[in-house]
């Protein structure tokens, strides 16, 4: 690839504009997302030949062959001027289109991501399964990277990540971190997980639980005494549990519910909002921490009880998504319209915001720490509300 490649130049321009994503589609100008707002990067519309020329000049021979065969190709990319990116090139309406996710070269500090205070304790867990979920673009990869970097700084451990493609690049600190890219270093998530136990990991990160084989292998890895972090495209803790169970046929579902009840430690489901007060992004997070009651509900196929258990679990650091969103509204970080648009139950959110004590105490405030995660003594600190980084 030449240094004057047009796609490279557009990625640099998007980075300079503070964008999170760059989109190239025939018949439209190059477009970027800045704080969830879609904007034109340049005024001139791109033609299908324009995009094809810049893409073919950008790809190497192997990537061109994969695009021709699969009509899709995913890969990571890094250059000094452009930083790190996750790039997808695909076909739509018989022409090539491009989606670039720009990745911050610096792994964010876990304390600066406006996450629930109890989430920092997840980095101290010795074993079990931790799931970070949410829709596309909700910051799952950022949260996973921040958790891993906290472990990297504070623990002596062997960490193996399975990613498609690799996003954040880690530097070994107290831990040894291996990053395996699916398609380059291993054929698939499931194949990598089949061999991973022989590689002596203490901590495993699975970039995405996307099929039955991967889900099954992830549960097995957690069952064998590893700490496993994984992501899933779901919108709530109860839905996450049901999605995992429903991946399997009816004959295996009871076994899977039993596995989850024994290995699952926490589910954090997050969504991002534009921070109207400070700029940037801010996260609302539903946090479920495993308790004997939740384990029993999972095992007995009563996951409809889980939201209520989260709602009443404030002393353990739990909070529902609607409670988290309500707190952001009360702090003046997001508007009511944005809050309602992403609420799990808009009517319930409006009722929460009408509570008489809303101005004096955040919804689901933590009063003590019986969670057993890490060395957390005394009251939990107040939630950080700095812009998402």
DSSP code, position 279: S
Q: Cite the DSSP H helix spans in 80-172.
A: 140-154
The residue assigned the tokens 């997808």 is 88
Question: What CA–CA distance (Å, rounded) separates 257 from 297?
Answer: 9
CA 125-232-317 angle, 5° bins: 45
| Pairing of β 21-24 and β 95-103 | antiparallel
Residues of the chain with CATH 3.40.50.300: 110-353
CA 129-133-139 angle, 5° bins: 120
Question: What CA–CA distance (Å, rounded) separates 17 from 40?
Answer: 11
How many Cβ atoms are within 10 Å of 129's Cβ, its own excluded? 27
Question: What CA–CA distance (Å, rounded) separates 113 from 61?
Answer: 39
Strand partners, 289: 266
Question: What CA–CA distance (Å, rounded) separates 136 from 132?
Answer: 12
Query: Is 217:193 a contact under the CB 8 Å cutoff?
Result: yes
The whole-number pLDDT of residue 43 equals: 85
| Pairing of β 21-24 and β 31-34 | antiparallel
The whole-number pLDDT of residue 122 equals: 97
Order the strands of the 21-24 sheet from edge to edge.
37-40, 31-34, 21-24, 95-103, 83-92, 72-79
Question: What CA–CA distance (Å, rounded) separates 159 from 196?
Answer: 11
CATH topology of domain 110-353: Rossmann fold (3.40.50)
Backbone angles phi, psi at 124, to 5 degrees: -100, 0
Residues of the chain with CATH 3.30.450.90: 6-103
Question: What CA–CA distance (Å, rounded) separates 81 from 106?
Answer: 14
Select from 389, 272, 276 the least CA-distant residue to 329: 276
The residue assigned the tokens 């609302």 is 284
CATH topology of domain 6-103: Beta-Lactamase (3.30.450)
Question: What CA–CA distance (Å, rounded) separates 259 from 216?
Answer: 10
pTM: predicted TM-score of the whole model, two decimal places: 0.84
What pLDDT digit, counting tens, does each position of 175-228 carry? 999 999 998 899 999 999 999 989 999 999 999 998 999 999 999 999 999 999
Three-state SS at 129 = strand
How many Cβ atoms are within 10 Å of 336's Cβ, its own excluded? 12
pLDDT tens digit at each of 389 positions of the chain: 666 789 999 999 999 999 999 999 999 999 999 988 899 998 899 999 999 999 999 999 999 999 999 999 999 898 988 998 999 999 999 999 999 999 887 898 999 898 999 999 999 999 999 999 999 889 999 999 999 999 999 999 999 999 988 889 999 999 999 999 998 899 999 999 999 989 999 999 999 998 999 999 999 999 999 999 999 999 999 999 999 999 999 999 999 999 999 999 999 999 999 999 988 889 999 999 999 999 999 999 999 999 999 999 999 999 999 999 999 999 999 999 999 999 999 999 999 998 434 443 455 544 444 344 433 333 333 443 333 43
The residue assigned the tokens 């957390």 is 376
DSSP string, 52-95: HHHHHHHS-HHHHHHHHHHSEEEEEEEETTTEEEEEEEEEETTE
Peptide bond into 165 cis (omega under 30): yes
The residue assigned the tokens 């720009």 is 102
How many Cβ atoms are within 10 Å of 302's Cβ, its own excluded? 12
What pLDDT digit, counting tens, does each position of 58-110 carry? 999 999 999 999 999 999 898 988 998 999 999 999 999 999 999 887 898 99
């Amino acid at each position: 690839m030449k240094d004057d490649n047009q796609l490279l130049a557009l990625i640099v321009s998007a980075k300079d504009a503070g964008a999170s994503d760059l989109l190239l589609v025939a018949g439209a100008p190059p477009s970027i997302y800045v704080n969830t707002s879609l904007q034109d990067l340049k005024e001139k519309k791109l033609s299908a030949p324009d995009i094809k020329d810049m893409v073919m000049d950008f790809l190497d021979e192997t990537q061109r062959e994969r695009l021709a065969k699969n009509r899709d190709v995913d890969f990571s990319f890094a250059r000094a001027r452009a930083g790190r990116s996750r790039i997808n090139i695909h076909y739509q309406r018989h022409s090539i289109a491009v989606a670039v996710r720009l990745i911050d070269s610096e792994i964010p500090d876990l304390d600066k991501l406006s996450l629930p205070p109890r989430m920092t304790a997840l980095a101290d867990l010795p074993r079990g399964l931790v799931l970070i979920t949410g829709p596309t673009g909700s910051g799952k990869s950022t949260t996973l990277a921040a958790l891993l970097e906290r472990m990297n700084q504070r623990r002596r451990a062997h960490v193996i990540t399975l990613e498609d493609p690799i996003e954040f690049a880690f530097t070994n600190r107290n831990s040894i971190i291996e990053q395996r890219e699916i398609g380059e270093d291993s054929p698939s998530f499931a194949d990598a997980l089949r061999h991973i136990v022989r590689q002596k990991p203490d901590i495993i990160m699975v970039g995405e639980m996307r099929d039955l084989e991967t889900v099954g292998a992830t549960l097995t890895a957690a069952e064998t005494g590893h700490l496993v972090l994984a992501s899933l495209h779901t919108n709530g803790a109860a839905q996450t549990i049901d999605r995992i169970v429903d991946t399997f046929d009816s004959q295996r579902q009871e076994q899977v519910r039993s596995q989850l009840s024994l290995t699952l430690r926490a589910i954090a489901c997050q969504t991002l909002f534009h921070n109207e007060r400070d700029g940037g992004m801010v996260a609302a997070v539903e946090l479920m921490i495993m308790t004997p009651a939740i384990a029993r509900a999972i095992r007995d196929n009563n996951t409809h009880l889980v939201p209520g258990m989260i709602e009443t679990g404030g002393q353990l650091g739990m909070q529902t998504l609607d409670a988290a969103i309500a707190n952001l509204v009360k702090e003046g970080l997001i508007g009511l319209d944005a809050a309602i648009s992403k609420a799990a139950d808009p009517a319930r959110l409006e009722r929460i915001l009408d509570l008489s004590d809303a101005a004096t105490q955040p919804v689901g405030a933590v009063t003590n720490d019986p969670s057993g995660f890490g060395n957390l003594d005394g009251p939990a600190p107040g939630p950080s509300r700095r812009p998402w980084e």
